[in-house]
Amino acid sequence: MDDFYRENILDHYRNPRNKGRLENPTHTHEELNPLCGDVIRIDLHVNDEGVIDQVRFDGKGCAISQASASMLTEMIQGKTLDEAKQLSKEDILEALGIEIGPVRLKCALLSLKVLKAGIYGLPNWTGEDEDDW
Ligand code: ZN
């Protein structure tokens, strides 16, 4: 079972979905994970109906950080901003599907932090405090 998830993570890392930048994003934000050197930037375009109709991510870093960003873009594409806000730490960890230690957790949640901090206006979100959820 673990192998499936590991392969899936490597596949997203090697063939990232929605990688790049948008020309006219309505929302854009970048965050850094200094512990690992990961950088993730997410561009969103939200249409008049409040639906995320375009999403791109860009960045560099370890496989976990890049793969989780790639998975996240697939999860939020086509959702409303409100629906995307419901995405939790558990959703990301479930998509990754492997056990993530405390250090790797920052890698795994970096892309979600970009959304929370830059796009939902929660600049102090770290994912570490239960109150953040
Ligand atoms: Zn990392």
Residue 127 pLDDT? 66
Q: Distance, CA 29 to ligand 1 centroid (Å)? A: 18
Q: Residues with Cβ within 5 Å of ion ligand 1?
A: 36, 38, 61-62, 65, 107
Q: Distance, CA 104 to ligand 1 centroid (Å)? A: 6
Q: Distance, CA 89 to ligand 1 centroid (Å)? A: 16
* Structural domains in the chain (count): 1
Q: Distance, CA 65 to ligand 1 centroid (Å)? A: 5
Alpha helices in the chain (DSSP H): 2-14, 63-76, 81-85, 89-96, 102-114
Is the pLDDT assigned to residue 129 strictly greater than 60?
no
Residue 131 pLDDT? 44
Q: Distance, CA 75 to ligand 1 centroid (Å)? A: 20
Per-residue pLDDT reduced to its tens digit, 4-61: 999 999 999 999 999 999 999 999 999 999 999 999 999 999 999 999 999 999 999 9
The packing angle between helices 89-96 and 63-76, to 10°, is 120
pLDDT confidence tier of residue 128, bands split at 50, 70 and 90: low
Structural domain contains residue 132: no
Structural domain contains residue 39: yes
Per-residue pLDDT reduced to its tens digit, 66-110: 999 999 999 999 999 889 988 999 999 999 999 999 889 999 999
Structural domain contains residue 129: no
Domain that holds residue 117: 2-123
- Look up the CATH number of the domain holding residue 55: 3.90.1010.10
Residue 54 or 118, more confident: 54
89 within 8 A of 32, measured Cβ to Cβ? no
